[in-house]
A and B are shown apart, each in its own frame.
Chain A
């Protein structure tokens, strides 16, 4: 018979209607799946008792696919068809991935999507055909899904999948697509540091600011989170995408080469020594010293003793390298070390005592380490999944997430108008009204951008679409309501509607490639560094736009009613127009403003004359009485 789990009071499920939900940590190096069973979040192991599934996918010529250890074992033999660290490619175009030539894959750029959204995600040519990073990730998710369904004895109602805090819309959408492809219903995408904080139950704690220090196999991330009213807000994210536990193995490997006076080894011996180096690193977490013995293919035998203090010296600068992003993150968040209420350790490499000591010293407090750092993200995701699936009573917390970078549209003059500010809680919807810029304008191009800067050229372009069929009206008369809607996963829908006629256009933003974590932190930093420049740039663009409109209006008036002017008046106006046109070229908004004011002043009597003329025109042939009725 079926095996039952204990439910929360009053929440027993009906037969065959178990709300089975899992949390998935889809990692760069390893992936895990966890669930809440009998009220406790647990990681689900495979049939060999292993929790971690290496995030490696190998495509074979017969069309079959190997995932995990089996694929990892063939990594060097069949490098071109064995995809490792596919997470780095999610939602990215070829030009976003800098180190293409150093990777063993055959890349292909995707054909343009045809919707003007850029050139699409990169693709990988394998022996089984061209695969997108979404498909590769889906293979990993499928294995985890099968494992979960076998362990839970039923179909899953959904999953919470974690993503790095710096993932942009494109990378989040790609992750969601991969889940759908794997047959998973995504309940929510959750930021990894937020998941770790949930696993430690920080969301139930009092409000405060927490740091999440995540040193994984190949990447380092530091996030500063603020918890207030059950909402985790990412105040700052920083890191080093090329620093992780593997670098510590590398240091021991180099030490072994040096000790034994070995020069460059073949790939097989290199792998052998790296495996021993890794084992030694893990030994030194528990023991003061470890002995490394290995027989190389050349017949040479290695036998060395490495002490913990030697290892600490070897790896000292690696540990130090994590502190730099830490300081930057604190500076971005405008916080002092003393503001941090707790520190959460994530990632297997944080088991190393020297890492824990360095973090403890930096923050002046003992970091939280009692949960398994490899599992903590998946455990937190499972808790969130359990809640979203309806297995907890309603009065308990419902965690919300926030938008990492502001969303807005381009307005005249290349300015970015923010519609949803950064750190708004999601889901959310905001609307703003815009109008036409020119007389008789019947279409409006809507350019959706993401970023903190004032100029569109400094922000990230997400999508473009057009609202057509606006009835011809004078400039400024049309009312176009632009609505931004962000769902619980941080994915964006934009719609535009002309309020008079009801014409409408909408787009689901599926940008085809994303920002790198470096770029996103750079964009955030720049927005503060360039605040002054941006303000100036905004003022300049605004003046330029206004002056352009003024010039156009005066020109139009001259063409229509130029006859009302004396030659002298006309010359004065034309001179002022010329002056204004000249200042438009200068990057000085005050000069433009002065010239525009001068032109305005020069046209006062002209405007008066035009007004009189049109009033006279209206009044012609009408009786006083008729006017009185109006």
Chain B
């Protein structure tokens, strides 16, 4: 059917900031959808609050709004743009929810906007647990048996009928509160009464447990002619009970017979029809009882999902792109397969390889959180690996995770503990599985403890057996056949080196002598049946190489690997931009990455895609094949940087800033010497190798001090110590866990600048010229990790003299470090002295944000500089002050705010510090700073109240400065209540506010007020470690009851200005394309801004 002609303009809603469970896969899918719709001639309006996305680049959509994903802002955009249709299925759960909200509020009807891709009815059936179960039952499919109960005796009777274990889900509680699993009658009686109490309507759902059943997902598509195809089957290595986002998954399904698979396929077709998803992609989950083969339907997502992104990467079939075209009324047979060009999309991809996805967790960031894997997702990222066998893909996946997970678990654990580690799934279960096999535990026992299918366990056993055969050899005695066998089963040179008691380099040399080298195969959707035109490649040890490398100028870009806190989508954004820019400049671009969620691993992004682990061995193999003119390592964050020196030593040509310079900037003493030479101030600092030494250094520097390990990623394991005991404890701890070991890994101790303002600066340099790209003022004081801090561009409170000094230092640093490309400097300004905290001569987290705020694509410019182009030839819109060039700022404020995963880690304190814990970011844009801040807060999930009550509790330091904030709040018509001390301080300043009890002072106290919805905003600045309990419970209660909570006075002041500016204003929205249009008169020098 030809595409629809009754619609011309389509609205797409993105998924907002990166959070656990909703990451950059929706940038990938949304970007694809935008491109697909525009390619078909439609006008696309895009809304997303996340500036770090490719989709919010002004070239991707016709009209791009970086605005909060809140109803009033969406309505304002719809009213302004008047789209004909809304495609709700490519922006994750967030995009879908807001589309439903708009439909239900009558906004879509009011402006005559049609939902395309999925109807409201279909979304409701798929999303509502009970409606979905009914739909499945109507078509004769089984779902886990369940009953809604209102009283205990009835519940017990029904639970006895269902059989134990039984799952209890109280109705209408947040985030599954009060839910549990009862394993027997006695336990159930207790748990059900608690669940009914937790439910505001005294109701619960009791459900048959499918824990331990085999878990599968099918990624399916349907078009408006009712054509149905399965794109990919995915099998979970970890059985039911572990969220699929936290499971190791394998594609295609490995342990189903064709009969079982076809039954599932038929069921999926019946479900998508019954639910009524007319066009697009859906994800449907099934559980199979390994004992009886009974199949039940678990759930469906009537939209593209994390799994569909994985399936797209696993098969080469771009689900989101095709889903967008199907929503236009096209049919699968009308859309050509990009990869073969000749065949249509109405087929089911053939997978002649195995794909393994492994999640990446970061529990170490959230001390005190429960590391048990459950039905709530906790991982922050994932890797995917492709091999010709399960073993090869698994091994490649393991080495794609960083830092390299220890292959062997410590031997000290008792058998009892080992059994427990196997039966209670945690992030390290794979290691315990190997340990169990190593110790000779039988396959049957491992399976009964883990419920993992024996097929997988036997593969692990074979891997252990092969390792033993290799370990019996040495580098000289190992036969070429055994070496090849080991490589074919996925062993890395590093693992072989351990087994053969030699070095990885020796293994590589020997391997090359024996001619054991990888070849590259193509992901082509058709198992080589048709010619493929998209070089999407993976390595394996077979005979024929299909890479088809050509001899033309080419640049290789190393990606950033799995998403993690501190190294996320921003780096992928930079890598993509490098590919876009260099493609435009006529280079062939080669991307190497292993993260399936990203835009960089879309086969459309670079000319050639190598889906490979980012290890020295794997990257060298690609370089060996492609022989690129240059390799870019400065865009992918720490991952490729860690390889830079070794790559260079092995003959790779690293372009841009020399890896030696990057290393120098990371080396404290050499860098300290450089700063001294340049006469640029830095906080006093020292290093220590032992706890006593640490105490001595700290007392010399003077308290408070910042203590951290020497290799830093997102400020891992930093603390601010106000006393020497904390320093000693930290150093002792570091020595224990090995972050402090040997002369190479001291701990670092810095003077901590209290009450300082922190500033981030991004700059471009070509080896001669420097252009300051953006001076971002942090809204929180120094001491909070820059990734967790809100910041504003242009700066709002820095004196011209300070700005001038910042520009001067930045330019001198860029020259001294011979930066070619991009550089980030962090400064702290204390009493007008500008200190350098850190220099990173590489892409930083802020590049996409600054690019969007200035309208200059920094990463593209930087990539061009790395290939030898010069700033003066690139005609950037710069202003020059005192001989230093800086990008002209535009006439709006852009505030970046972080988003935190605290709701996923209950019991963890939410106070911000030098340890980065945010997973994502949003941007708020407005003509005033206050409004931009308020919009950023709203986009990050904190809706600042325009009326109601503000609770205030600030530390003594802040008491001196709190009065203006309170005046603003009162002027905006809010009521202010405060703790006794804060109220007294305000009284002294002539402001009378009501005082309330702290938690330990009596009742009703502040937590009671929060719980009973009597507080609309909490401003609580921490006092230090002593009063932690009180503060923690206030902040926890705020999160639980979803009340905005601000923890610094600087942010409180910005919030007060935001509330003031918002009052009486309708939602104001502006498209990036308009904001970036430079009115020459409006281009003013930073600092001169009103």
Question: Is B a genuine binding partner of A?
Answer: no
A: residues with CB less than 8 A from B are: none
B: residues with CB less than 8 A from A are: none
